[in-house]
Amino acid sequence: MSRGLRFAPIALLALLLLAMIWRLSKPVDTSVRSNLEGKPVPAFDLGPALDTKLALSSRDLATGNPHLVNVFASWCVPCVTEVKVLQQLKATGVAVEGIAVRDRPEDLAEFLARNGDPYERIGGDPQSSVQISLGSSGVPESFIVDGKGVIRYQHIGPIESSDAAMILRQLDRAR
């Protein structure tokens, strides 16, 4: 057996290893985007998640002004930090609407009392049906809806302080 043939398996293994390392360093985008960007919000009519909050329906989002619709839950750990940023956005005049997914009123009330309440309305989505119809893959997730009720932007994951300026730009575009 020639000397080159003896090293062929090692060279092949090295090439496979290099290919795997290269692929891991450039991972595929695994985020699930909504196919509804540029389309009207699916029709929905959610009851109030709390007695102290107004209900939320798709009609409430077509009022002439853009809205930030936040899909969240009291049991969601990243939602705790996101709510602070949502409060900052609300302080600048952003209309923040909430969809509470698979949540209990008492847990939601405690979450808002402990972390703050940036929401004008909170609709309860106990079976995640509206969340699924929006193409949302988890919590937290947010949608910018223009004044005509059309989804203009989807933000997957928590809105962080570094995202606030971009969210405000997206809201301006939705005007």
* pTM, to two decimals: 0.82
Q: Say if residue 78 is preceded by a cis peptide, omega within 30 of 0.
A: no
Burial class (CB in 10 A: 0-12, 13-18, 19+), 25: exposed
Q: Per-residue pLDDT for the chain (175 aa), expressed as one digit of tens each?
A: 577 678 888 888 888 888 888 878 776 665 556 688 999 999 999 999 999 999 999 999 999 999 999 999 999 999 999 999 999 999 999 999 999 999 999 999 999 999 999 999 999 999 999 999 999 889 999 999 999 999 999 999 999 999 999 999 999 999 8
Q: CA angle at residue 85 from 102 to 101, to 5 degrees?
A: 5
Q: Using alpha carbons only, how large is the chain's radius of gyration in Å?
A: 22
Domains and CATH numbers, the chain: 45-173 (3.40.30.10)
